[in-house]
Structure 1
Amino acid sequence: MSYNIEKIRADFPALDIKIHDKYPLIYLDNAATTQKPRQMLDTEYIAYTTRNANIHRGVHTLSQQATMAHEHAREVIAKFINAKESAEILFTRGTTEGINMVASIFCSSQMRSGDEVILSAMEHHSNIVPWQLQAEARGIKLKVVPCFDNGELDMETMRSMFSDRTKLVSICYASNVLGTVNPVKEIIAVAHSHGVPVLLDAAQAIAHRKVDVTDLDVDFLAFSGHKIYGPTGIGVLYGKREWLEKLPPYHGGGEMIEHVSWEKTTYNELPYKYEAGTPDFINSVALAESINYVSNIGLNEIQAYESMLLSYATEQMLGIDGLKIYGTSVDKEAVISFLVDGVHPYDLGVLLDQQGVAIRTGHHCAQPLMQRFGIEGTARVSFALYNTKQEVESFIKALNKSLTILR
């Protein structure tokens, strides 16, 4: 595999951090957020220092330059996910806002009491709570597709869930806990056969595999910038033009209007209809640079490399007495959630941190999934394009040392 890991790691300043003034950072919490390459950081700095001006309406040079950079970023993102046009790319604050946005505007205009939304048992809270809020406000019904013990969805049950009242399917592309990559193309095809649109939460897939909205034929798709080596506080909601034109605005204010009077307001064309107020024209450009960074390495190469790390780590961990991995589906992202008999994951996380290893512990914003498996939480390691086999070996060594103390 022609994968220049040394060159890649040199692009990420945070990987040089020392933990407790002793250990080099081994960062295995990438499903929560990723570290940032110098290229993205430099792009953000340049944007702030050379063209910091509000966009779209200014006639002066800085405003024009900032506008061009912001709209070019939208084009970069459209190309990255193979949207048919950049107007289908809406900037948000992240996946959570994107899902809330669809839940609000879709339910308010397309659903009535008794209508149904299909979710899955492995959803993040950000794809559960927005629908519960709508259920309480509008009387809609939530149906939940169960998953098997290996973390794969029960597709047969899912097919049986559709009825004349089913109006939307909202489901994760990949689980942040189990790593399961759902058969989303099949799910979309089944939903469309019933005339039902689909929203995909792609937060955990976007940095690890090629996401092609045209090939999937998905209606809506949301992801966060910070999951793909980009800045925090910005994300993307993709929507098919036919839906974005049909649905009402989400927020009101400047930019999303065509004309305002006391009698009536008319709305701007896409995508601005959904982007009220001053957009994040700095982070949009930084996000585009992160996407360029990933694209230059290649999603297929990244996926193959991370798959190697996942297989290697899984093999090593299964050799540890009393360790159980949750999520063993065949198609899986580089995420391992696990428990060790008699060991609390929080204690494990603390001892690993003292040895320079950063992991995640807890319910991972997926409490219903934890209840499904009869547990309170797990320890989780998750890999990114800059992790190494040597880091896996160091993690295993630190894990064994921690278990010697805890058991």
Structure 2
Amino acid sequence: MPTRPDTAPTPAPSRPLDVLGVPGEINLDHAASAPCARAAADAVAELLPWYASVHRGAGALSRRCTLAYEQARQTVGDFFGARIGDHVVFTRNTTDALNLLGRSLPAGTTVVTFAAEHHANLLPWPRGSVRLPVPTDPAAAVRDLAAALTELRRGSNPALPVLVAVTGASNVTGERWPVAELARVAHRHSARIVLDAAQLAPHAPVDLGTLDVDYLAVSGHKLYAPFGAGVLIGRSDWLDDAPPYLAGGGATSHVGSATHDVTWSTGPARHEGGTPNLLGAVALAAVCGALADADRAALAAHEQALLTRLRTGIAALPHVVELRTFGPDAPRVGIVSFVVAGRDSSEVAARLAAEHHIGVRDGLFCAHPLARRLLAEAADRTGRRDLPPTALRASLGLGSTAAQVDRLLAALAELG
């Protein structure tokens, strides 16, 4: 019989870190774009009736929006441990943030990266930058960087600036990089360091002071705030000395009648020309606030249990090979890339979606040098010559469950 209205069960209240989704669809592609957290959606919905200009108007709507935007800047900066003197500049995403920093480098700067980086941390840097080979383990990364910086400082002009650019966690394998150790090496050689935290921040606390990095770049769409905002946080001097990233309204304090009679702003406004992405900033701040209030250790423990379940299940499938840069026990976040022997990766991804309602990624994951190397190494390690030229990636996050992992493993087993 129908349930009487007065006895119907009360729906469970939503929580800030609940994620939005479509019933029946399994999203294991968080590393590309994470689903929207309830905190972000609620913050945007609350502000939308008030939406108006930022930094431009005297009306109540504009003043409220300006306050919300600057409060978001403070919240995001606090969440990532911005220090006195650091700028918090809102951008579109990590790629945009790193390109902004690339445009702000002093003349003659050499950038040192590893070939294991995402394209966002390979392509923005000037010609003459140094790309180190993929290290065999975290300790090798530290040694290789120390050797490279020692050699650079012996060059013809050892006083020129040097920037080290490194990921916090690989978007291909999920393996964590020794950021604090790399920062110590960089600073010992009077170099600065920027951290691409796009994949690390959704899974673990990231603090500029604790890691002792000079700059940090993050994408909101990977941090459960898919409203088009990212952030660059870091030391102010290079940013204040650089030409504006976007020349236009808001980036100036004075524009005269003559063509070159312009006084550019200092601070974040210098690089935030045009109408800012208010809703993106507010959404990102809302998720940062929710994560700050959450039990991050419990979230990490849950994810690691799922990750172990997934990797153990993959290892038990003789036709599936996991990709890795470091050893099998290296620390990592909830990202696993793999290949199915004898199967085209795009065809596997399509079947998983069509037949099992499971969304994963296929391709080279915007990290072509690393992915191609790992595919070749996987063939050498296993002795198999039937591995495809691209890979599959399953990535976990808020809302992932053991049942979803098991569904993926069962689907992969059917392909054997």
2: CA distance, partners of 1:372 / 1:234: 32
1: CA distance, partners of 2:139 / 2:352: 30
**Amino acid in the other structure paired with 2:392:** A
Alignment partner of 1:238 is 2:233: yes
Q: CA deviation at 1:213?
A: 0.5
**Amino acid in the other structure paired with 1:216:** L
- Matched residue, 2:403: 390
- Matched residue, 2:300: 303
1: CA distance, partners of 2:38 / 2:61: 24
Identity of counterpart residues, as a percentage? 31
- Matched residue, 1:360: 361
**Amino acid in the other structure paired with 1:217:** D
Is the contact made by 2:53 and 2:65 (CA closer than 8 Å) also made in structure 1? yes
1: CA distance, partners of 2:139 / 2:115: 10
Aligned residues: CA RMSD: 2.2
Q: CA deviation at 1:368?
A: 0.6
Partner deviation per Cα, 1:171-208 (whole Å, 9 max, x = no partner)? 11111001111000111110111111111111001111
**Which consecutive residues of structure 2, in runs of 5 or more, have no partner in the other structure?**
1-11, 377-388
1: CA distance, partners of 2:286 / 2:249: 27
TM-score norm. by structure 2 comes to 0.86
Alignment partner of 1:205 is 2:193: no
Counterparts in 2 of 1:152 and 1:384: CA distance versus 1, 3 Å? farther
Alignment partner of 1:378 is 2:391: yes
What pairs with 1:306-345 in structure 2 (closer than 5 Å)?
Answer: 306-327=303-324, 328=328, 330-345=330-345
- Matched residue, 1:222: 217
**Amino acid in the other structure paired with 2:344:** H
2: CA distance, partners of 1:227 / 1:61: 33
Alignment partner of 1:270 is 2:264: no
1: CA distance, partners of 2:329 / 2:373: 16
- Matched residue, 1:19: none
Counterparts in 2 of 1:7 and 1:306: CA distance versus 1, 3 Å? farther
What pairs with 1:8-407 in structure 2 (closer than 5 Å)?
Answer: 11-16=18-23, 24-49=24-49, 51-85=50-84, 88-106=87-105, 109-111=106-108, 116-131=110-125, 134-135=126-127, 140-148=128-136, 154-162=141-149, 163-164=152-153, 167-261=162-256, 262=258, 263-327=260-324, 328=328, 330-354=330-354, 355-375=356-376, 376-401=389-414, 403-404=415-416
Is the contact made by 2:86 and 2:235 (CA closer than 8 Å) also made in structure 1? no
Aligned length: 379
Partner deviation per Cα, 1:283-341 (whole Å, 9 max, x = no partner)? 21111112222223232222221111111111111100132111235111111111122
SS at match of 1:292: helix
**Amino acid in the other structure paired with 1:158:** L
1: CA distance, partners of 2:20 / 2:110: 47
Q: CA deviation at 1:243?
A: 3.5
2: CA distance, partners of 1:6 / 1:57: 38
Q: CA deviation at 1:374?
A: 4.4
Is the contact made by 1:83 and 1:214 (CA closer than 8 Å) also made in structure 2? yes
1: CA distance, partners of 2:270 / 2:104: 12
Is the contact made by 2:18 and 2:398 (CA closer than 8 Å) also made in structure 1? no
Partner deviation per Cα, 1:128-157 (whole Å, 9 max, x = no partner)? 1212xx31xxxx233324222x78853322
TM-score norm. by structure 1 comes to 0.88
Is the contact made by 1:309 and 1:389 (CA closer than 8 Å) also made in structure 2? yes
1: CA distance, partners of 2:107 / 2:264: 19
1: CA distance, partners of 2:112 / 2:86: 28
Q: CA deviation at 1:371?
A: 2.8
SS at match of 2:216: strand
**Amino acid in the other structure paired with 1:260:** V
**Amino acid in the other structure paired with 1:318:** A
**Amino acid in the other structure paired with 1:129:** L
1: CA distance, partners of 2:275 / 2:17: 35
Partner deviation per Cα, 1:252-307 (whole Å, 9 max, x = no partner)? 11111111222532222312122111111122111111222222323222222111
1: CA distance, partners of 2:399 / 2:261: 53
**Which consecutive residues of structure 1, in runs of 5 or more, have no partner in the other structure?**
17-23
Counterparts in 2 of 1:391 and 1:151: CA distance versus 1, 3 Å? farther
1: CA distance, partners of 2:17 / 2:166: 36
Give the greater-gyration-radius structure (CA).
Answer: 2
